[in-house]
Amino acid sequence: MELPRKIKPWLHAARLRTLPLSISGVLVGTGLANYYGEADTLIFILSICTTIGLQVTSNFANDYGDGVRGTDNEDRIGPKRALQSGLLTPKKLKKGILVSVVIDVLLVVSLIYVAFGPQNLLFSAVFLILGAAGIWASLKYTIGRSAYGYRGLGDLFVLLFFGWVAVLGSMFLYTEALTPLATLPATAIGLLSVGVLNLNNLRDVFSDKKAGKNTLAVYMGFENAKIYHYLLLISAFTCTILFLNIQFGKWPLSYLPLLAFIPIFFHLIRIYRTTLPQSIDSELKKLALSTFFLAVLMYIICNIFS
């Protein structure tokens, strides 16, 4: 009985509901590699574990950074964080972040070694830099005076790491090559992931502004941030349909991934009708799962046409 009580606060801080979104880019990148005839089960497993590890580190750091700054307070609309609710102390959470970073480093090194071996030193060096950048980005979103999440840069970093690095980086681990066309699904997954972050920032726009957390939603204001949200999701749809049309042709089956956009367009209608930030929290999970659904369908369609 003692063990679950010790684990529960860490599961709360890890925010398990964010993990499907985090692996979406890996699924798409792996699907693209499979389409080009490359597959490796160990690379796939290590890629998923590395991505999950980085996301958990980010969640721990976000919990700690917002907690010690006082951003997570009684004004915040979303679920209470581990530090905010007293489930973990700042000291314990810092230790958890350190352990998580060590695990991330081990996973990154293992993934690079399995993918490239000792012979491809250039590729290994590039991915070590990307891995280090991913760990840095996980930590610096809300921690420190220069936390980029407090300067309206979170959206850019999410597009970069959840979209381009996750999809193109995963594809390269298998193929050691990239194609210009692969940037379309990478951008689509990145834009949808930015959409999830924007929803989070829309929900917290007034409490963030009061606490001095200057997200893009704070800079733009609630109504303009809603328009920005529409543009993100419509652009993601455009990138997806262009990719499917160019990559797989005009067979009806090739448009299977567009099914994931049905709940997304219903989501857009609900956001259009929303006037209160507290109405947005339930939409976060829906958009994140729809993005994951898109990634699964992209993975399936790439393997069907491979």
pLDDT value, residue 55 = 96
- pTM greater than 0.85 (yes/no): yes
Here the tokens at position 295 are: 């990634």
Q: Which residues are CB-contacts of 242 (< 8 A; sequence separation ≥ 6)?
A: 184
Instruction: Give pLDDT tens digits for 66-120.
Output: 888 767 666 666 677 778 778 888 899 999 999 999 999 999 999 999 999 988 9
User: Using CA atoms, how far apart are residues 250 and 225, in angstroms rounded to an integer?
Assistant: 35
Here the tokens at position 288 are: 């994140």
- Parent domain of 197: 2-304
pLDDT value, residue 76 = 64
How many domains are contained in the chain?
Answer: 1
CB 9 within 8 A of CB 87: yes
pLDDT value, residue 1 = 39
Q: Is 159 exposed, middle or buried (0-12, 13-18, 19+ CB in 10 A)?
A: buried
User: Using CA atoms, how far apart are residues 302 and 35, in angstroms rounded to an integer?
Assistant: 5
Question: Any idea what the CATH number is for the domain that residue 19 is in?
Answer: 1.10.600
In sequence order, what DSSP letters do the residues of 144-206 get, joined into one string?
STT-GGGTT-HHHHHIIIIIIIHHHHHHHHHHS---GGGHHHHHHHHHHHHHHHHHHHHHTHH
Q: Is 249 exposed, middle or buried (0-12, 13-18, 19+ CB in 10 A)?
A: exposed
C-alpha pair distances (Å), 160 with each of 164, 186, 204, 236, 284: 5, 9, 23, 14, 20
Residue 232 DSSP symbol: H
Instruction: Give pLDDT tens digits for 162-196.
Output: 999 999 999 999 999 999 999 999 999 999 999 99
Q: Taking the chain (306 residues) in consecutive chunks of 10 residues, what is each chunk's mean pLDDT?
A: 69 89 97 97 98 96 83 67 82 94 98 94 96 96 89 96 97 97 98 97 90 92 96 98 92 93 96 90 93 98 93
